[in-house]
Structure 1
Amino acid sequence: MPGEDAAPGPELPSREALRRFLREASGRVGKSEIARHFGLGVEQRPALRALMKALEEEGWVPEAGARPAGGGALPEMVPLEVFGTDADGEPLARPIRWEGRGRPPLVLMRPERPGQPALAPGERILARVKPLGGGRYEGRTFKRIGGGPARILGVYQEGRIQPTDRRQRQEWSVAPADSLGAEPGELVLAEALPGSPLGLRPARVTERLGPLDAPRAVSMLCIHAHRIPEAFPPGALAEAERARPVGAEGREDLRALPLVTIDGEDARDFDDAVWATAEGGGWRVVVAIADVAHYVRPGSALDGAAWERGNSVYFPDRVVPMLPEALSNGLCSLRPGEERGCLFVEMTFDAQGQKTGHRFGRGLMRSLARLTYEQVQASRTAADAALPMAEIDALYGAYAALAAARERRGTLDLDLPERRVLLAGDGMVRDVVPRQRLDSHRLIEEFMVAANVCAAEELERRHQPLLYRVHERPSDEKLEALRQFLEAMELGLPASDRIHPRDFARLLDQVAERPEARLVHETVLRAQSQAEYAPDNAGHFGLALARYAHFTSPIRRYADLVVHRALVRGLKLGEGGLEEAETARLPDTAEHITRTERRAAAAEREAVERYLTLHMASRVGGMFEARISGVTRFGLFVTLTENGAGGLVPSSSLPDDQWTYEEAARRLSGRHTRLSFSLGQPVEVRLAEATPLTGGLVFELLGATPPVPGARRSRIRRGPPKGTPGKPPARGARPR
């Protein structure tokens, strides 16, 4: 009757009922199918949309007809959560929900379309995926479905934000009320706001980080860009401040042993000390490591902060430590003349460098001296009365035996020079130079490798869980690509099924005196698998070792702390050993610290590149000798001989021609000019643009030496750029 309430329609289904329907439905499922199945009317559509949105954020995708995988394979369309980036800065994601066996598969996200903000950790997306093999998938974003607002790092400029990530080409608009008082030229963090798809997207400044041209801005930018935790929780700081020096009780007294630390001039913490002596025709070596496990106990606030960071991160002007300074630079740092707790391994070797025995213990030590690599190296040619020469001579004697054993074993030794950023007193870049690699570096490396092998062997022998450092052989696909590259230089490698590290060593010896030696080193490095942490052993291909663990740097690597705890438990060395709860989560810890290690490496690499761009900004217009280090459809990547700076020669700046990209040969060939550009080819370039905001360098090609030996060097005739005759292309336009 008129005036009476209408009969209520069917109630909305519960979340569980809707999940059950989606799980059991076949074919495409959308809002109409759901409404029809549950008998919902038009007036209930808004509430249904809200319910479906909530399910999307949980990982269910009703409108796409995709359901969480339950049998071990992902559907074509799947909801993902971004959790980090790979070594190249590309996003990594995993399914939001996973009902299959084992760990959820890894999804390598392809780059976003131009103008779209890059995916940030924590974001949730709906993605189309296709399998790559080995439990990995390639993904492309279909749409973003939540996980918090997009995070923006950029420079504020009068109502706009210019992103610092060169992959993000779109600027953001900022209303005065949302600027947080930011000044032009300030580095800011911001979050995206809802807005129209037309024009610049709006954003709100959430944090001001200081001027972009400030001396410490580069490292600050990299810290925030890679989401590296910088501030310690109050609880962790309080625990570190309460820490006290260790006593001698329950420890072996090593204070009379003349242990020394050997580190770089710019080292900020000292976690390993060494000693050696000749004995019975061979050598006895002691490696003592800071006893971090005494101070950082499982389940403590310190442990939680260290696990989250995974490792320390080193920048030219600062370090973001894994542990608070009271420990990392204080009670855990093996300072000369100060008593410190340690875990040590005593190793014996025969005259040929073969290990004949080892033992571990927990001790109390006092470092005799803090030496630098440069001091120790210089002492080999001119004895320094101020240095403990007897100890140094014994260290070199033991090193010679271990190095000979390494040579016989056949390892991969990629001697690529690191770049060292030298800063002036005001924090500005004074120079960027190659970091020297000396025999004193190799000496310490050999002792640390030997100690790490002993740790893995000891824990295996005592049936203790541990985190291995594993490095698998290169994949067949990477080896095939490397062979194609080497064929152009008339070089080769054995068949994939019998490849050994010594094969790479022989290859590098072959090119040692050739001008393209550095490029071959870099290409061989790119062909290798990435090392990682794992609770299951797969050996270490590069070092040609059957088992390997990290034991020698617990101040700066969480993996080493786990190994220390396992040794404490297995050898019954007192408190601070590995606990069962920690053992159960070793697979998660391995995966987590592998990610944090790669995050740190990417941040450190980006910082050096940005400092190098700042250094090069004053040399725009200058001419440089370089080599082609990459060939793509859109241009050439070149690396300067002088300082290792790298940048792009866009195809739009090449002579006007019809260019063919030969992927297998990694070559660009011009149909009319008969010019060709290949990997390793020497070129002369002019620096056209240096952009400190994004860390990018753009070059113009001036001349090139053809890849055929003995051919004449060609000069590149500069004509009008491609596009409208006589008119330059639009700034920032991407070449096709």
Structure 2
Amino acid sequence: MLNNDALAQLKGLKQQIEAQNEHTEATVKGTLNRYGFALVDDGREVFIPPDEMLKALPGDRVKICIRPATGPKAKPGQTVAEIERLVDSPIDRFVGRIVTKGKAVFVEPDLPVLRRWLFIPPHARNGSKSGDWVECAVLRHPIRDGKPSAKVLRRLGDDTTPGIENRYVACRAGIAWEWSDKAAASLVEHARQKSPLEEENRVDLSHLAFISIDAVRTQDIDDALYAEVTSDGWNLYVAVADPTSFLGDHPDIIETLADCATSVYFHGDMIPMMPEAISQEFCALSEEQTRPAVVCKMTVSDDGEVGSYEFMNAVVRSRAKLSYAAVDRYVTGHNDELIAFSTPLEALVQAYRALRKRRESHELVMEDRQEYRWHLNDKRQIDHIEAYEKLSSQRLVEECMVAANRSAARFLAMAEAPGPFVVHSGFRKDRLKEAQEFLQRHRPDLAQASIETLTGYRQVLSALAEPANPLPLRAMVNRLLTRARLSTAPSEHMGLALDAYTNFTSPLRKAVDFLVHLQVKAVLAGDTATVVTDAVLDRISASIARSRDATQAAERRLSANYLNRLTQEGVSQFTARVSHITSSGFTVRLADNGLEGLVDMRKDPEKFSFDKWTASLTSTTRRVELNQWVEVTYTGAPAQDDYRAQFTLIEGCALKPEKAED
């Protein structure tokens, strides 16, 4: 037994050691290995040993003890973190796949840097079986003994379930697959109480022969067009469905739409931003239905310039829903099946051609690239893919929408309303010097252009897109450009070379357009247009990004399934064009079907050097450049890389030309 002196010495030693330790809160950062790191609020990263890491999940907020590292491999001054208790865990619901080991059932979570399986007790399996894709929740946190468990909330399906790719990634992104009965009923009941056609301030335009041009299957038709010839051009009317007349004063509508943000379009599935009872039954500008609308009337001159404009709350009645294909045949003079609509169509076609010509000569038009259409089979998998060209009828609608959108932006800017505006700043501020050096190297005649101004930006981008350039200069500067963003303040949209821009024409499918309608109507009523804030726009932007990531993830899964099927059928080699290039490799777009994938040159036996000025990778024997045609072999789409297709260059491809002998 220890005497009192020995006990006192041990106690003092323990206090001395404890005084060397630090107790604080930190956030757990996982890795692909068994260990992790504790991110302290002051910026330090403290190593968490594997045994301690078993007690936490990535993202957990924990109380830790930072102590000196011990053991034969410990270095002087090295510290480690011991997890003392859980403060908060952000992991609640998650998705994953059911796996089994013997009689035990686990879920393999689809979470970044979490590679451990979570045990599912028998009572929490909810009928799921091995191979099922499921939505789960943490049932027991591992903080006590390092043994977490989960429960299955919902079985989404297995690999044979039609459309499982779409449902799975939507659930992973936190996107509700359908409106709940309660949420939908609240909006529908509110809408039923409204009678917008009886409002006194509405202008009756039902005598004008509006027509809609859309895909054959579209039901939530949110725009209709009419044009009439004038002495110096045309009057162009763009009528847009008016859901704000039904829902604008609903107490929760802005928060609800900020979280939805947009209708989500998957291949084979669509998640509507609004309950279909509202978008289709109440608001859609359907054929021969009298509906409320917000109409933008614009004067278009003979040379395609949009002059004066007027916004009005109106009543319209679409005369017909015409398909893109039928209108394209009319525009290109290949069919007279729409002869009954020749008067309004002819004026629209004339106005469209003038608008397009002016935009091409005075502004910027997005470059066309080869489009592809996926055809799905009964299992919602890709049956085949066909290439197609953008139709003239689609360009017609596009020009009318751009004209209305730019007019809406000017209208809100003149009223000093806080947007929302769509802003594109052009070249990134931190890349201006690099952009100027790029021009000096490739187009010295443009080196002095003021690329921060609308005029200078348009001059430069137009010149870089000229076919006579020996390199694909327009594509090469994409890495130097910003992305468009939402703003409460008007500013230039460099990408379109317009002084202001917004989105006005799709309020049934996009929350931004719905907010623009609220702002326009407030200005028309003489009220203060203040429903838009930076916080609301930030939420919408985050929701849009979440939806975009989900649709891209679903496309990768379907693409992987299709490429795997082709490989099984003996087709694994493809002709492709280099669409993006970095220091580690490049992205290719397959010529036959438009599918994209990565070629990782870090795995190549040869060492490649990257030249950002020529967008090229060069080794001793090979050279790969942007837009170059190459031959590649499909090697797979690994689940750990979220099913991104992987390719390799075939032997003998992209060889440098032999040097001529003297």
Same fold per TM (> 0.5)? yes
Alignment partner, residue 154 of structure 2: 207
Query: d(CA) in 2 for partners of 1:355 and 1:349?
Result: 5
Query: d(CA) in 2 for partners of 1:491 and 1:418?
Result: 34
Secondary structure of residue in 2 paired with 1:404: helix
> For residues 380-391 of structure 1, what are the structure 2 equivalents within 5 Å?
380-386=332-338, 388-391=341-344
Secondary structure of residue in 2 paired with 1:533: strand
CA distance change for structure 1 residues 386 and 457 in 2, over 3 Å: closer, same or farther?
closer
Residue 280 (structure 1) aligned with residue 227 (structure 2): no
Measure how far apart 1:230 and its partner are.
Answer: 3.4
TM-score normalised by structure 1 residue count: 0.70
Secondary structure of residue in 2 paired with 1:598: helix
Return 211-220 or 250-259, whichever deviates more: 211-220
Residue 172 (structure 1) aligned with residue 117 (structure 2): yes
Match of 2:346 among 383, 393, 401: 393
Q: Which amino acid aligns with 1:624?
A: F
Q: Which amino acid aligns with 2:251?
A: S
Secondary structure of residue in 1 paired with 2:648: strand
Measure how far apart 1:414 and its partner are.
Answer: 2.8
Alignment partner, residue 371 of structure 1: 322
Residue 588 (structure 1) aligned with residue 535 (structure 2): yes
Secondary structure of residue in 2 paired with 1:341: strand
Secondary structure of residue in 2 paired with 1:696: coil
Secondary structure of residue in 2 paired with 1:348: strand
Q: Judge conservation of contact 2:409–2:501 (CA < 8 Å) in 1.
A: yes
TM-score normalised by structure 2 residue count: 0.77
Q: Which amino acid aligns with 1:647?
A: G
Alignment partner, residue 507 of structure 1: 464
CA-to-aligned-CA distance 1:424-452 (integer Å, 9 cap, x gap): 24433222344531222221111111112
Match of 2:186 among 230, 234, 238: 238
Q: Which amino acid aligns with 1:466?
A: G
Query: d(CA) in 2 for partners of 1:480 and 1:151?
Result: 46
Query: d(CA) in 2 for partners of 1:699 and 1:281?
Result: 56
Match of 2:135 among 189, 201, 219: 189
CA distance change for structure 1 residues 700 and 307 in 2, over 3 Å: closer, same or farther?
closer
Secondary structure of residue in 1 paired with 2:501: coil
Match of 2:394 among 424, 441, 446: 441
Match of 1:453 among 406, 414, 417: 406
Structure 1: gaps spanning 5 or more residues:
1-31, 37-41, 58-62, 67-74, 79-114, 127-141, 713-736
> For residues 53-452 of structure 1, what are the structure 2 equivalents within 5 Å?
66=41, 76=43, 146-149=88-91, 151-158=93-100, 159-162=105-108, 170=115, 172-177=117-122, 178-191=124-137, 194-195=141-142, 203-233=150-180, 234-241=182-189, 243-244=191-192, 246-250=196-200, 251-379=202-330, 380-386=332-338, 388-434=341-387, 436-452=389-405
Q: Judge conservation of contact 2:196–2:246 (CA < 8 Å) in 1.
A: no
Q: Which amino acid aligns with 2:590?
A: L
Measure how far apart 1:506 and its partner are.
Answer: 2.7
CA-to-aligned-CA distance 1:475-508 (integer Å, 9 cap, x gap): 1555666788899989996457434134223322
Q: Which amino acid aligns with 2:356?
A: A
> For residues 573-722 of structure 1, what are the structure 2 equivalents within 5 Å?
582-583=531-532, 586-620=533-567, 622-631=572-581, 635-651=585-601, 654=604, 656-657=605-606, 659-662=607-610, 664=612, 667-670=616-619, 674-691=621-638, 694-706=642-654
Structure 2: gaps spanning 5 or more residues:
1-14, 29-37, 46-53, 64-81
- Give the aligned CA root-mean-square deviation in angstroms: 4.1
Query: d(CA) in 2 for partners of 1:701 and 1:118?
Result: 40
Q: Judge conservation of contact 2:214–2:322 (CA < 8 Å) in 1.
A: yes
Q: Which amino acid aligns with 1:385?
A: E
Query: d(CA) in 2 for partners of 1:571 and 1:332?
Result: 20
Measure how far apart 1:386 and its partner are.
Answer: 4.0
Secondary structure of residue in 1 paired with 2:239: strand
CA distance change for structure 1 residues 669 and 194 in 2, over 3 Å: closer, same or farther?
farther
Measure how far apart 1:534 and its partner are.
Answer: 0.7
Query: d(CA) in 2 for partners of 1:646 and 1:483?
Result: 31
Secondary structure of residue in 1 paired with 2:645: strand
Measure how far apart 1:695 and its partner are.
Answer: 2.3
Q: Give the fraction of aligned pairs with identical amino acids, expressed as a percent.
A: 25
Q: Judge conservation of contact 1:194–1:202 (CA < 8 Å) in 2.
A: yes
Query: d(CA) in 2 for partners of 1:423 and 1:171?
Result: 35
Q: Which amino acid aligns with 1:357?
A: S
Alignment partner, residue 83 of structure 1: none
